[in-house]
Each structure stands twice: as C-alpha cells, then as structure tokens.
Amino acid sequence: MISTVECDIEGRNIDEVAELLSEAGAKLLVDTIENIANGTAVYTKQDDSIASITRQIKKTDGMTCFDEAADVIECRIRAYYDWPTVYSYLGDESVKFFEAEALIEETCDGEPGTVSEVDKECFIVNCKEGKLKILELQLQGKIRMNCGDFLRGRKLNKGDRFSLKEV
C-alpha cells in the first residue's frame, strides 16, 4: 500500500458511499502520484489479518422476513439499495424496501414481520430485536414511493405480515 483514506459512511446508502469514495479516491490518487513522483511515498505491506473477505452477493441475500435485529436490516437496506434490494412478500406481492429507520429501543409486540403500527405517513414492522420504521418502498409492478403515498393507495393493518415467499 502507498496511501489510505478513511471516510465516515454511517447512515449512507451504497450510492452515497460510492460518491463519497470516488471523491476521496480521486484526491488520494492525485496526492499519491505526487508523492511517488517526488520520492516521498511510503510503501507499506498490507496487514492481511485485518483484510475483509466476502462472497459474491446473490439476489436472495436481499430477502427478509424481519427475523434479524432492526439495525442489521436497516444496514442491509442501505447496502443493497441498488441491487439486490431488501425485499419481502405481503400476501402474493413482493415489496422492496429502500429507506427505513431502526427503532432498536422499541420492544417487539408480535412475531417478526408483523406490522405493529400504521399511521398516515409510515408503518412499523416487528423484527427479532427492535422494530423497523418503513419510510420508502416499492410494491411489485408499481413505482417506488414514500410510505405515506403507499399507505394512501393501499390498506395496511396492524397484524398484517411480511413473509419470505408468496402465500
């Protein structure tokens, strides 16, 4: 390695992270080339013990029935924002989730995947730990929309349940 840069990615989706890293990387590249050219670059062997190893992401990695902690699902929604997206089924229709807020202090009042609250602008889903406030989603065959618009066009009740596959 010749140079590194750290960026705060907390709360950002994958598109926002990509934009942040492209800007930081471009600046770092210019500085690094300059350091190489003037002989001040410091070469360091990468510490393999802190390197991340992962596998290729599959479409099914986005499927959820809310059987994880709310903050974990919120992070997945941000990470899988473009593809494969986090999705579940409401009855026989798939629903993709694009923005949500983890309510980790909230106690579940039902099975994971059940709707615990519905108001005019959002709904809240029970998770294994905490709850998830849904803010932006897309119903199968429809355009992506904020939760308030979704709820004005579709009735959702407390107790409705999201599942892993069509029922």
CATH superfamily of 59-163: Formyl transferase, C-terminal domain (3.10.25.10)
* Amino acid, res. 144: R
pLDDT the model gives residue 166: 54
Q: Are strands 131-139 and 93-103 parallel, antiparallel or unpaired?
A: antiparallel
The residues pairing with 132 across neighbouring beta strands, listed in sequence order, are 102, 125
pLDDT score at 52 = 87
Tokens of 113: 């995947």
Question: How do the domains of the chain map onto residue ranges?
Answer: 1-53, 59-163
The pLDDT tens digits along the chain (167 residues) read 999 999 999 999 999 999 999 999 999 999 999 999 999 999 999 899 988 889 999 999 999 999 999 999 999 999 999 999 999 999 989 999 999 999 998 888 999 999 999 999 999 999 999 999 999 999 999 999 999 999 999 999 999 999 987 54
The span from the first CA to the last CA of the chain, in angstroms, equals 52
d(CA 62, CA 76): 8
At residue 51, the pLDDT reads 86
**pTM of the predicted model as reported, rounded to 2 decimal places:** 0.86
| Residues in Cβ contact with 89 at an 8 Å cutoff, skipping those fewer than 6 apart | 95, 162, 163, 164, 165, 166, 167
Q: How far apart are CA 80 and CA 113, in angstroms?
A: 19
Q: How far apart are CA 167 and CA 165, in angstroms?
A: 6
DSSP for residue 161: B
Residues 11, 14: Cα–Cα separation, whole Å: 10
